[in-house]
Amino acid sequence: MYLNLAHWLKGTRALGPGKRLAIWVQGCCFDCTGCIAQSWRKRRRAKLIGPEELAKLDLDGVDGITISGGEPFLQAKPLAAYLKSAKETYPGLSVIIFTGFTRDDLTWSSALGLIEHVDLLITGPYIPEQNNGTGLRGSANQELIFLTDRLKPWAEEIVSGQRSVELYYRGNELLIVGMPEEKVLKSILGEIEELEK
């Protein structure tokens, strides 16, 4: 059993409260217009890693894990195995998962098994016209479902707080972490185009 990951990043503060490990899975079954992770939507082999191997990653000083993609629930079983191992070593971690599925869609057994390890589930497709630039969700149609009380102290920030965006260079690629407003994304991409001229 392996995870097929597009990327992971330790230490982001743009994807939930505190310092977080961000994990992006490779492959998606949705075709959301305006998706910021176009290259991670293709269902292809990327970086294969066993859940137990990923769980060996040192998470000292990390407050939580945020999983996005791609579509995490296409890899529900290995993600559940990873979260189980990680939370055994670091029991205080909070877990946030973004999914294009609605809560009512997530009824198959491995999806329910993954949900057992999640504190906040952000559900529904991204709709660029509903990107209001606030809170942790990408667009206002997405539902924020607090499955435990662990992240409730940050509920106001999560629902309507100011967003932050982080930029990282990966070789010749720029990694944009967070959910930029459309005008911010266009500005970043415009600056890159100018640099490439």
Domains recognised in the chain with CATH numbers = 3-196 (3.20.20)
DSSP 127-183: -GGG--SBSSSSSTTSEEEE-SSTTGGGHHHHHHPBP-EEEEEETTEEEEEE---HH
- C-alpha span between 75 and 99 (Å, rounded): 11
- Report pTM: 0.92
pLDDT digits (tens, 9 = 90+) for 131-145: 888 999 999 999 999
Confidence of residue 124 (pLDDT cuts 50, 70, 90): very high
The β-bridge partners of 95 are 65
Quickly list H helices, 58-104: 76-89
Confidence of residue 174 (pLDDT cuts 50, 70, 90): confident
Given a cut of 70, is residue 93 above it in pLDDT? yes
Confidence of residue 12 (pLDDT cuts 50, 70, 90): very high
CA atoms within 13 A on the CB side of 166: 15
Three-state DSSP class for 62? Answer: coil
Question: CA angle at residue 175 from 177 to 183, to 5 degrees?
Answer: 65
**Averaged pLDDT score across all residues of the chain:** 92
pLDDT digits (tens, 9 = 90+) for 35-89: 878 889 999 999 999 999 999 999 999 999 999 999 999 999 999 999 999 999 9
Instruction: Express as a percent the part of the chain with pLDDT over 90.
Output: 76
- What pLDDT sits at residue 169? 82
Residue of 101, 95, 107 whose CA lies nearest to 32: 101
Contact 59, 29 (CB under 8 A): no
